[in-house]
Amino acid sequence: MNINKRDILKIRNPKIKYPVIDEIKKRFSPRHFTNEMIPNRILNSIFEAARHAPSGRNYQPWYYYFTNKGSRAYKKIISSLPESNHWAKTASTLIVACYEPKHEGLDNEYALYDLGASVLSLILQAQHYGYYARQIGHFDKEKLSLDLNIGKVKKPFIIIVIGKIGDYKNIEKLYLEKEIKDHPKKNKIFEII
């Protein structure tokens, strides 16, 4: 099958029922990236968007670790992934999104919700600059925490794989099949009460 980046963007272009901003309309989670590094000014902007996300009681229970391809930390993150997620090694940047389950010694029951809001802000800001992201929840969190010396206060929750979409002529067949498979959204998610 001969599919290029333009074909993938066309295939993954969602059928929008109501107007939404472009960053939401064009967002999807690819499995193939280029080696093109993300400039520091854009990374700073992406993390700034994450920093300004809303959080319960303004606790901001999120923290991010990131690294670029070629570093020892990059290899450690990849080593924490199951083989089925090794497509991640095509991306230029990996981000470990962590949360703090406690605030001032007490459980923060909204920590994961708040982390999700922060991650979405990060992803939409990246999308604004033409960078795509895919999140991975299935990885060895304990191993990664030890390998990166994260400590006990912050808990790794997801890995965000981020970069420019790659040339799909070079993607492994298994991943290409997953990319071109139809991914319908739920039709009805709200009703008036």
pLDDT in tens, 95-126: 999 999 999 999 999 999 999 999 999 999 99
In this predicted structure, the answer to whether residue 54 has a pLDDT above a threshold of 90 is yes
Out of 3.40.50.1980, 2.40.37.10, 3.40.309.10, 3.40.109.10, the CATH code matching 5-13+23-180 is 3.40.109.10
Q: Name all contacts of 179-188 with Cβ < 8 Å and 24+ positions apart.
A: 179/8, 179/11, 179/12, 179/30, 179/31, 179/32, 180/1, 180/3, 180/8, 180/11, 183/12, 183/28, 185/14
112/90 Cα distance (integer angstroms): 28
What average pLDDT does the structure give for the chain?
Answer: 94
CA angle 98, 133, 65 (to 5 degrees): 30
pLDDT of residue 1: 64
- Pick 9 or 45 by higher pLDDT: 45
Percent of the residues in the chain that have a pLDDT greater than 70, as a whole number: 99
Tens digits of residue pLDDT in 182-193: 878 888 889 999
